[in-house]
Amino acid sequence: MDFDAAARRLAKEQSQIHSRRTQSRRVEISARAKREAVHRQAQQARLVEEKREKQRQHDFITTYMRQCDRMLGLKGLGNDNGSLLLRATSIHGQGDKIALPPSVLQFLTNTGLEMADTPWTFRIAIRNTSYEFPASPLLKSMSIPRKSHTVDEEDSDSEEDTNATSAYLDEMTYRYLAYTHATVVEFTQDEGCVGIPEPIAAALLSQRGRGDVLTTRTTDPSANTHDKSKDVSESETDMNRSTNNETDEGKTPGHIAWGAFDVPDCLIEVSLVHLPKGQACTLVPTQEALKNGFHNLKDVKLVLEQSLIRTRATLSVGDLVHSWHRGKKYDLTVRDVAPSTFNAVLCINTDIEVEFGRNERSMDSDEASVLHNELKATLSGRRLGDPIDCPTRDNVTEFDSNMQRIADELTPEPPLEQNSGVCIVQIRGDGTHARRRFDVQNSTVNDLFAFASFVVGTGSPFRLVTRFPRRVFIPDHASISLADAGIADGQELFLIERI
């Protein structure tokens, strides 16, 4: 009997131990399941939050691009404000005036897009077929501001900020293979075509940095309707083309110029934009313009007024503009414009301050000596009976070395947007004069003498003096900044006194 009771007691204890183990195991499994469930929920919440953050970021940059388009006044000329794609055709003209089909004029007048005091301005662009939004690293890296009024449609009338459009401009370089701006000269093109002059075609073809753009030379479609045109020999065709090219300059802008120059062999996107009126720009003469004696022009303002104002209504950064004087052609590259919100301005019914930048391409010794001799002969002159100084090889070598040293030492001009701490310095002496902007804090007296040496050239030593009151500056003060030397903001006239 005692044995049976012990066996029952042992079985009961084992059952209790087994139940406790089972319950403990269940508790462990339940805790692990809970931890896994919590981890899965946190992971799902994190993925959802990341997806929402990406969507907010995408919505933010999309709204940002739309806001920049509104600031630019971008309007599509196609159906439902869509893009208008036209085939390029070559026309005569040396400016930025294109020819559009009559349907565009009808669309502009029907939608009430007449411009009061400015002409219609268009963005001419070549699309990038492999473009996917967003593509710009600057645009992708934009972060949503913490303030609630991050980018609102009602903020489009706020003050324009150049830095705010840097990501937009960078995105445009990915969206388009090339683009520039133009105005319209007439609405007489065939439907589906846009007539572009040689400067616009050159601007589009010179920016092909992200893809290849095929080129073509347009042909007169009426020539294909006659069977006799097939019998015309190549020599006769070349002769007719050369005859047409000889009379190109006599044609009015907008006149058809079949086969006169290369045009993009692809569809051109044409959009209506509203560019800000220009306030200032920097033009850099090309190497060919320097060889033609651009710096020898006595009245550059007159040359620009007679050439640029008559042929151009817009200025875009990177464009090559043409000017003429007495049969010589002077090409100028647009380095920068102000305001630089969209790197393009309108130059109609506005006053623009023009600065001429330095051509970064260095000239060889022969070109430098010839340029300096021409400048000196034009501006300084000599008296009849005076001996003519023939420069020796040693003098030319010394001049070349000094010119190179001066170019290396002279600090660049302050940006056009900088107004404080800038002094406009005018140098006069030896029959020459020139003007340049200096940062009084960063520039030194050495920069002043370097600029004066470039103006007057080599010769006997000199010093710089001012009038009323008279102050004398010598090369011994070279390391002193202009501000420490007493040269303040504004304008200052320095005279050359030979020692």
R_g (Cα) of the chain, nearest Å: 35
Token pair of 357, please? 């930048």
Pick the CATH number of 280-356 from 3.30.360.10, 2.140.10.10, 3.10.330.10, 3.30.500.10: 3.10.330.10
Residue 222 has pLDDT above 80, yes or no: no
Whether pTM exceeds 0.85: no
- pLDDT at residue number 127: 92
Confidence of residue 358 (pLDDT cuts 50, 70, 90): confident
Q: What is the pLDDT of residues 384-423, one digit of tens each?
A: 444 444 444 444 445 445 545 554 567 788 888 888 889 9
Topology given in CATH for the domain delimited by 365-498? Ubiquitin-like (UB roll) (3.10.20)
Give the pLDDT mean for 33-57. 88
Contact 189, 231 (CB under 8 A): no
Residue 365 has pLDDT above 70, yes or no: no
Distance CA 147, CA 140 (A): 19
Distance CA 377, CA 385 (A): 16
Locate the domains of the chain by residue range.
73-139+162-222+236-273, 280-356, 365-498
Contact 123, 179 (CB under 8 A): yes
Q: What is the pLDDT of residues 125-135, one digit of tens each?
A: 999 989 999 99
Distance CA 451, CA 478 (A): 12
- pLDDT at residue number 275: 93
Q: Write down the mean pLDDT value for the chain.
A: 79
Topology given in CATH for the domain delimited by 73-139+162-222+236-273? Barwin-like endoglucanases (2.40.40)
Unique residue bearing structure tokens 């079985």: 11
Residue 295 has pLDDT above 60, yes or no: yes
Cα separations (Å) of 385 from 376, 380, 381?
18, 16, 12
- pLDDT at residue number 206: 85
DSSP 8-state assignment for residue 220: -
Which of the residue ranges 8-12, 113-117, 281-285, 483-487 has the most confident prediction, judged by mean pLDDT?
281-285
Sign of CA dihedral 205, 207, 209, 210: negative
Residue 344 has pLDDT above 90, yes or no: yes
> Whose CA is closest to 270, among 348, 167, 195, 346?
195
Distance CA 170, CA 166 (A): 6
